[in-house]
Structure 1
C-alpha cells in the first residue's frame, strides 16, 4: 500500500494545462454534470453557479442568490461557455467530451467544438436544482484553502473506512 493510500489526503490530478482561477474558480465533473462557479464580469460580489447535464446537455446558470442568469435564455450564456473552456483546460477536451457524452463531427474535441455540438441540440433549462449543492461544495473548497498546512488528519476528511491488515 502506498503512502497516499494510507493518508487522509486525496491525490490531486494535475490540470491538463495551467488555468487562471479568477474567472472560473471552481469546476468539476460530478453527479453526471459539468458544474462550477463562474465570476461575474460586472460585479465583483457576484458569482454564477453553472451546470450542464451529461447526455441531454440540459443547463442552468444562476447567481449565488439563486437568481437566474439573464443570458441563459434558450442557449448557453457566457458563464457556461467559460465553464466549458476552463473544464477543457483542467481535465482535457477528451475527458470533458467523454463525461458529457458529446460526439463531435470530426472527432477532435476543443472547448469550441464541444460547445457547438451541445448547443446544436437546443437543450432545455432544467438543471437549476443542482446550483445549491455546487455552490455549497465550492464554499467548502474555499474553507480548506484558509486552513494552515498540516500533516495531521482533518476530522471531516476521516470518512474512509480503516484498512485491515492482511495476515
Structure 2
C-alpha cells in the first residue's frame, strides 16, 4: 500500500541519541559519515567517515585539519560515529550497509568496530568532508525556522504520516 502513496516509511530510532556528542550521522554515498563534537573544544567538530566494504576511514576537523588520533587506527570520533549510527539505524542495518560480518546474537557497535578494524583498514580520502559538513549545516538551518503550518517547498521530500491524495 505505501508504495502507491506520496509518503515514505520512516524507520524509527533504535534508542534515543545523544545529539550533543554526534549531532549528525547518515548512511549515504557508500559511507557511514557524520559530524562528531570534540571532547576538548566546544567550538570544534570532526567530520568522520567510514567507506562501506573497504572500511577506509577519514576524520578531520571542520576546517579540514587531520584528526590526531586517526593514524592507522579508528579514532574515538569514528568509534562514536559507529555507536550513534547503531543507535539511530540499528546494528543490523549499519552492518549490512558497511558490509560487515557480525555475530547474529549479541552484536553491538563494538562488534561492528572490531570486525572492521580486524581487516586493518587504511586511511581514506578526506575530500568528502566538505560535502558532509555542508549537509550538516543545512540541517541546522532548519532548526532556526519559525514553526508554520504552510508547506516549505524545500522540505516537501520529507516523509509524512498521512498519505496525500
Q: TM-score range by the shorter chain?
A: 0.7 to 0.9
User: How many correspondences in the alignment?
Assistant: 156
Would the aligned equivalents of 1:58 and 1:126 in 2 still touch at CA under 8 Å?
Answer: yes
In the alignment, structure 2 segments of 5+ residues that lack a partner are 159-164
Q: CA deviation at 1:158?
A: 5.2
| Closer/same/farther in 2, CA of residues 151 and 128 from structure 1, 3 Å limit | same
Equivalent-residue separation in structure 1 for 2:84 and 2:55 (angstroms) = 17
SS at match of 2:21: coil
- Tell me which residue corresponds to 1:19: 17
Q: Deviations over 1:56-114 (max 9, x none)?
A: 0000000000000000000100000000001000100000001100002x334210000
- Tell me which residue corresponds to 1:92: 90
- Tell me which residue corresponds to 2:147: 149
- Tell me which residue corresponds to 1:107: 104
Q: CA deviation at 1:145?
A: 1.0
Runs of 4+ in 1 over 3 A off after TM superposition: 10-13, 157-160
TM-score normalized with structure 2 length = 0.86
SS at match of 1:83: helix
- Tell me which residue corresponds to 1:138: 136
Equivalent-residue separation in structure 2 for 1:11 and 1:128 (angstroms) = 32
TM-score normalized with structure 1 length = 0.85
| Closer/same/farther in 2, CA of residues 114 and 20 from structure 1, 3 Å limit | same
In the alignment, structure 1 segments of 5+ residues that lack a partner are none
Equivalent-residue separation in structure 2 for 1:89 and 1:133 (angstroms) = 23
- Tell me which residue corresponds to 2:62: 64
Q: Answer with 41-50 or 126-135: which moved more.
A: 126-135
- Tell me which residue corresponds to 2:162: none
